Structures are given as C-alpha cells and as structure tokens.
Amino acid sequence: MQSAQTTFANLRKDFPILQRIVRDNKTLVYLDNASTTQKPNQVIDAITDYYRNHNANIHRAVYALAEEATELYESTRDKIANFIHISNREEIIFVRGTTEAINLVAYAWGRNHIQKDDIIVTTEYEHHSNIVPWQLLTQEKGAKLVYIGMDDNGELILDDLDKYLATGKVKLVTFSLMSNVLGTITDAEKIISKCKEHGVLTLVDGAQAVPHMPVNIEKLGCDFFAFSGHKMLGPTGIGVLWVRKSVLETMNPFHGGGDMIREVHKYETTWNDLPYKFEAGTPNIADVIGLGTAIDYLTKLGMENIREHEIELTKYAIEKLSQVKGLTIYGTKDISKRGGVISFNFSDVHPHDVAQIIDEEGIAVRSGHHCAQVLMERLNVAATSRASFYIYNTKEEVDSLITALTKVARIFKL
C-alpha cells in the first residue's frame, strides 16, 4: 500500500497539461481549480476510446455498438449513485452542468410550485447560477427572492433563515455547500433540518463540494442536488442533477423531444420513465463516459484523502500569504470550515494586475468577481484574486505563488 502522501506526489504524471511550458519558459502552476480542473490521461483516453471504438446512439438500437455505448453511459449513473451515496439511480439526471441543473429545477419544478407571494431563500455567497434562475422565476410569478446574510468571517447568519421560515411563505431554500469565492463550507445539515421542520424543500449547489470532500446526499437529506463534471477532473458540458423521487414525480418536463418520450400523438404525448423524462434528445454520451472515469479516479484516491491533502495545502498557503505585507485574505481562518479556495486582495493593486504579473511567472489564478457579484458587494470590493487548489497541487507551487507576489510588491512599490 502506498501512503496518501506518495500517491499525491505521483499523480502529476497523469496530467499531461501540468508539463506545459507557458509564457517565458515557465512551468505551468495551475491554481484556478475552482473554475475548472485539469484532466488526467485516464479521462482523455476514455473519451477518445468511446469515439474510436464504441460510438453509437444509445438506448434504442440493438446492435453491438449501441449496446456497448448504452452500457458505458448507464454505468456512469451507477458510479454517481455510489459516489454521492444515493440508492435510487432513477433520481440522477444528466445535464450540462450545475447551471443547467438549477435552471431545470427553476423551470420544471418552480413553474408549477411557486406562486405569487411565495418566498425563495438563497444566500449572499452564491454563484450567479444560484441567483439568476430564481430572479427569473420570482419575477415571473410575483414571488420574492431573499438572502441569508453573511458575517465578517464568511459564514452564513442562520438567524436570517429562522426569520424567513417563520413567515410560513418559504417554498425553497437554496445554497452552495462550498462557496466558490471564500471556500466556506456551509452548515448544510443544520439548514436542511430547519427547513424540514417547516416542510420546506432544499436545493444544494454542490459544484465546489463534490470535487473536494466526501458528500453523502442520503445523510444530508436535501431534495435537489447539483454539480458539474468539469470541476472534478471530468470533461466540460456534463453535470448532474439529483432530485428526490417523490419531488421528481411532481415535476413537468424541461425540454421536449427524443429520449423523454414514451408515445407521441398529434396533440398529446406521454413521458418516458424516470430519469429519461428529463433527458431529452441525444445526450452528451462521450462526456458522461468521461465523467464516469473521473469518478473512478477520485474514488481510487479516496475523497477523505483528497480533503486532507487540500486542508494541508490550504493551511500552508494561508500561513504563507498571511506573512505577505498588505495582503488581505477573505473568509474564515478556521481550516475545518473551508475548502481549498483562497480569495485575497493585495493592498490596492487591482486583481487583474496581480493576475497579469504572476502570469508572467506561469502562475494561473483567477481575478474578478468570480460570478458572485452579490458577494463582492457584501465584501465591499469590486474584485478579488483567487487561488484554488486540487489534488495535483503542491507546497512548492504555493511557494512559487508567494515569490511571484513579491514581484507584484516590487513593481507597485508596496
């Protein structure tokens, strides 16, 4: 048995892009994993293998290739069920990503469950994907969208939730399990149990959590759960929406056509069984297969080990960054309450300038509002720089970031 330490040290060779030379002969230091992660050979090969050897449309034809493609596609559904701990594979719907998953809920659930004066609760640290679909829905219905506030530690103020629940008008509470800007891990079990006491449904945006820590949906007890493949070593354009069956059965279709149909007549159509009722048209077969391989890869590493690896890196990075004069780190310093996402500002240097200068050293960090402008307003900043880690990142890369930041300090005479 290899120790977790050696496993993590060895896995960089699986990622061809990490050998890339960028800019002026610099080795790539990729620290933008909250945006998307790099892909290992295993995932790249699974996709090309599908196109080279198994390509066919799924579910209908009886010939060999079609059976193989269907088997590969459907086996990913089982892998997902195991990975996020749910017992019913019919509750798993393939979508393009978290954004589409949340829009699907807003449309196919929201349009026939939300009425005038109903309340939908979200939080101040949500990604735009967990705000805008609810704005569209509440505006259409004359309903109301309200926000759970955030304290200066980057944690949610749950008294706000109690206040909203007491109105008796809340129909849905929706929140991310891990903030993509602050890394805050939400106290989901507490929120969900409060909601359950009031018979209120909950949606969890798992886009940042699922790639970085063990997630057990059965234990969480939410009603909707969304995540994206591309933030967990998988390809772009594929993601998952899980919906509790009793809720899924109350939902109308999202898109019409193809696989979602049982019978079509001139003026009426009957729907296919779950989950196919929600998978209209030829799906993204290749990338579903790629996602299945990504899940194999993560499972082999162990989500507990991944979380531990990131805790160690994050702790190290926060220690080092805290020593940089003039640098402000946002969010809690309590490592047990945050994932490997660190947003910061460096004196009054604009984050785009920070990103551009350290890019010359081959370091990729994100700068901007990170699709969370409500949070930027709350923090009273226009933008931040954000370094975010994954399984292949190392302490040496954190050191490279720190060295590059001293160059920023030199240029701006900080």
Ligand X SMILES: *Cc1c(COP(=O)(O)O)cnc(C)c1O
Active site residues: 371
Asked if residues 315 and 321 have their Cβ atoms less than 8 Å apart, the reply is no
Residue 54 or 366 having the CB closest to ligand X:
366
Judged by CB under 6 A, the chain residues 306 through 345 that form the site for ligand X are none
Q: How far is the CB of 147 from ligand X (least distance, A)?
A: 15
Judged by beta carbon, residue 238 or residue 289, the one nearer ligand X is: 238
- Binding segment toward ligand X, per CB under 6 A, in 94-102, 194-202, 358-366, 403-411: 94-102
Choosing from 43, 76, 86, 97, the residue that interacts with ligand X (CB under 6 A) is 97
- Which listed residue (33, 76, 99, 293) binds ligand X by CB under 6 A? 99
With beta carbons less than 8 A apart as the criterion, state whether 31 and 388 touch: yes
Q: Identify the H or E element spanning 329.
A: strand 327-329
**Token pair of 101 as six digits:** 């998953």
Q: What are phi and psi of 246, to 5 degrees?
A: -60, -30
The helix (H) or strand (E) run that includes residue 341 is strand 341-346
Q: Which is nearer to ligand X, 98 or 345 (CB)?
A: 98
Q: Which of 91, 118, 124, 205 binds ligand X (CB under 6 A)?
A: 205
- Other beta carbons within 10 angstroms of residue 170's beta carbon come to 21
> In the sheet where 201-205 sits, what is the strand order?
92-95, 239-243, 224-228, 201-205, 170-176, 119-123, 144-148
Candidate residues 33, 129, 314, 367; the one interacting with ligand X per rule CB under 6 A: 129
Question: Contact between 228 and ligand X (CB under 6 A)?
Answer: yes
Q: Indicate whether 208 belongs to the interface with ligand X (CB under 6 A).
A: yes
Measured distance CA(229)–CA(154) in Å, rounded: 26
Q: Is 207 in the site for ligand X (CB under 6 A)?
A: yes
Residue type, 206: G
Binding status of residue 98 toward ligand X by CB under 6 A: yes
Cβ–Cβ under 8 Å, residues 351 and 327: no
Task: Note whether 176 binds ligand X by CB under 6 A.
Answer: yes
- Structure token digits, residue 201: 């449904």
Binding segment toward ligand X, per CB under 6 A, in 203-211, 252-260, 293-301, 325-333: 203-211
Decide if residue 33 touches ligand X (CB under 6 A): no
CB of 120 to ligand X, least distance (A): 16
Binding part of the chain for ligand X, among 201-209, 277-285, 319-327, 357-365 by CB under 6 A, reads: 201-209
Q: Contact region for ligand X (CB under 6 A) — 123-131, 162-170, 286-294, 297-305?
A: 123-131
- Kindly state the smallest distance separating residue 132's Cβ from ligand X, in Å: 11
Helices in 28-142 by DSSP H: which ranges? 41-49, 64-83, 98-104, 110-113, 132-141
Q: How many residues bind ligand X (CB under 6 A)?
A: 14
**Token pair in block for residue 353:** 């300038």
92-95/239-243 β-pairing: antiparallel
Residue 400 interacts with ligand X (CB under 6 A)?
no
φ/ψ of 318, rounded to 5, equals -65, -40
Per CB under 6 A, the list member of 33, 138, 180, 384 interacting with ligand X is 180
Q: Which is nearer to ligand X, 46 or 104 (CB)?
A: 104
Least separation in angstroms between residue 125's CB and ligand X is 9
Please give the sequence-ordered ranges of beta strands (E in DSSP) within 200-273, or none if there are none.
201-205, 224-228, 239-243, 261-264, 269-271
The residue (of 208 and 400) whose beta carbon lies closer to ligand X is 208
Query: What string of DSSP letters covers 189-205?
Result: HHHHHHHHHTT-EEEEE
CB of 228 or CB of 384, closer to ligand X: 228
Amino acid at 314: T
Q: Which is nearer to ligand X, 145 or 261 (CB)?
A: 145
Spatial separation of the C-alpha atoms in residues 101 and 95, rounded to whole Å:
6
| Least gap, CB of 261 to ligand X (angstroms) | 26
Contact set with ligand X (CB under 6 A): 34, 97-99, 127, 129-130, 176, 180, 205, 207-208, 228, 239
